[in-house]
Amino acid sequence: MDRRRLLIPLLHLILLCFVDDVLSGRTSSYIRSEYPSTDIPLDNEAFVVPEGYNAPEQVHITQGDYDGKAVIITWVTNSEPGTSEVWYGTAENKYEFKAQGTTTNYTFYDYKSGIIHHCLVDGLEYNTKYYYKIGTGSSAREFWFQTPPEVNPDAPYTFGIIGDLGQTYNSLSTLEHYMKTGAQAILFVGDLSYADNYKYNDGIRWDSWGRLVEKVAAYQPWIWNTGNHEIEYRPDLGEASPCKAYLHRYSTPYKASKSTSPLWYAIRRASAHIIVLSSYSPFVKYTPQWHWLREELKQVNREKTPWLIVLMHVPLYNSNQAHYMEGEAMRAVFESWFVQYKVDIIFAGHVHAYERSYRVSNINYNITSGSPYPVPDKSAPVYITIGDGGNQEGLASRFFEVQPDYSAFREASYGHATLELKNRTHALYHWNRNDDGKHVPTDHIVLHNQYWASNTRRRRLKKHRKIPGNASLIAKYEELLDVLV
Ligand SMILES: [Fe+2]
């Protein structure tokens, strides 16, 4: 009995140390040292123009329907329109099928785009490798892509997450490291080329960006989202139509999710339901985006797609001095829905750094009552800010001190992330720092699905309740574990 009296305080001490360790957020002390934040020169091989007369360039694909049986293939020709046909099939060099695309082009001040081709290729089989050919004669080019597994609650799938990419050597490093991960599709959280940082928003930098990302984007779908650098609102140049270049160049399957705008939409892919929101389109009550999101959330079926993921450009939780509080308006409008529908994870960009939150919400405050502070909430999403693709504007290196309780980990470095959906209950999330050309796994968590893993979680907590000692302390520890995952 005496031994037990001695043991219990000792266990408390060990537990407290552990609780303290898991509770405290961490601000990484890593400082990057090299690689200037300047764009790669246009004559660099990263932007190489493919050989051949009128050869297709800037090839990229995205999902073309709601459930992953279609792709939209986009490319540019510069000398003449040429053909908008895509030849495709399931064997290399044997193209049994043909799809007919359409063309568009645009001007922006004194820039005139090439001919932009968009071709929907639909009716595909799941889980199948397709080869495709675009262009004609000796200028034709061939690529391939893999369709996802059929929508299924246990379909494993790995997404990459990249934001605010730009076209510097750091951007290239992000892409090269990403290509080694084995991820199958990219969730892109906005700010693509940063062409708007050039005089007259030089469209040539939209072209070079298209050539830079082709090595990835021609082979796997990028799920697009817009950031502030896509707006390009320049009435002083006679250009007052927002997102003109982006909307001409990047297609999204918005009609498949009954959206009325290419800027917000949803797809289902493998075991995930992915909702793309536009930070720079109206979203307050009664706007088209608000109506659409309300209906789309009702469509989410966690029995089919357990993983509910939301993409946006402006983070709702951000403790960096850059863009501080810019997401507050959208948080006030949408956060209660994210908690109500138990969103698993929300990815945002905009801030050129990395930050991960615990599961928190701030939905009790309603101007007349309630706490105005974020609190642990096991129904809330994990918020990830990943605007660290490597663009020319450099890093957002100043975080607010003291680190807020909701912030689990933060670091001002470039990088990308992967989200491996293993089954309906578990996923592995990794953030990889890529500063100065080195690929360094830096932050990772195991995600328990917000819909399916609750029983598992309860079982795990019961096990912890068998630990002898102070009940309230144990309960607090359990609550913290809950919030962590
Ligand atoms: Fe941004």
Residue 169: pLDDT above 70?
A: yes
Q: CA 54 to CA 32: how far, in whole Å? A: 41
- Whose CA is closest to 442, among 386, 482, 376? 386
In the chain, pLDDT over 90 holds for what percent of residues?
A: 81
3-class SS of residue 182:
coil
Q: Find the 314 Cα to ligand 1 centroid distance in Å.
A: 7
Of the residues 60, 118, 229, 323, only one is catalytic, namely: 323
Alpha carbon dihedral 228, 229, 230, 231, in 10-degree steps, equals 60
Told to judge if 291 belongs to the known catalytic residues of this protein, a careful annotator would answer no
pLDDT for 34: 58
Q: Find the 388 Cα to ligand 1 centroid distance in Å.
A: 10
- Give this prediction's pTM: 0.89
Q: Find the 408 Cα to ligand 1 centroid distance in Å.
A: 22
- Name the band, by pLDDT with cuts 50, 70 and 90, for residue 434: confident
DSSP 62-110: EE-SSSSS-EEEEEEESSS----EEEEESBTTB--EEEE-EEE--EETT
pLDDT for 366: 84
Residue 221 CA to chain centroid, in angstroms? 12
| Residue of higher predicted confidence among 471 and 29 | 29
Q: CA 396 to CA 409: how far, in whole Å? A: 15
pLDDT for 474: 38
Q: What is the mean pLDDT of residues 291-301?
A: 98
Longest Cα pair distance anywhere in the chain, in angstroms?
Answer: 90
Q: Find the 45 Cα to ligand 1 centroid distance in Å.
A: 27
pLDDT tens per residue across span 240-251: 999 999 999 999
Q: Find the 318 Cα to ligand 1 centroid distance in Å.
A: 13
Burial of residue 416 (CB within 10 Å: 0-12, 13-18, 19+) is buried
Q: What is the mean pLDDT of residues 225-252?
A: 98
Domain segments of the chain as ranges? 52-414
What is the fold of 52-414? Purple Acid Phosphatase; chain A, domain 2 (3.60.21)
Q: Find the 66 Cα to ligand 1 centroid distance in Å.
A: 27
Residue 374: pLDDT above 60?
A: yes
Q: Find the 178 Cα to ligand 1 centroid distance in Å.
A: 21
pLDDT tens per residue across span 335-373: 999 999 999 999 999 999 999 999 999 999 888 888 889
Q: What share of the chain is helix, strand, coil (3-state, %, to 5)?
A: 25, 25, 45
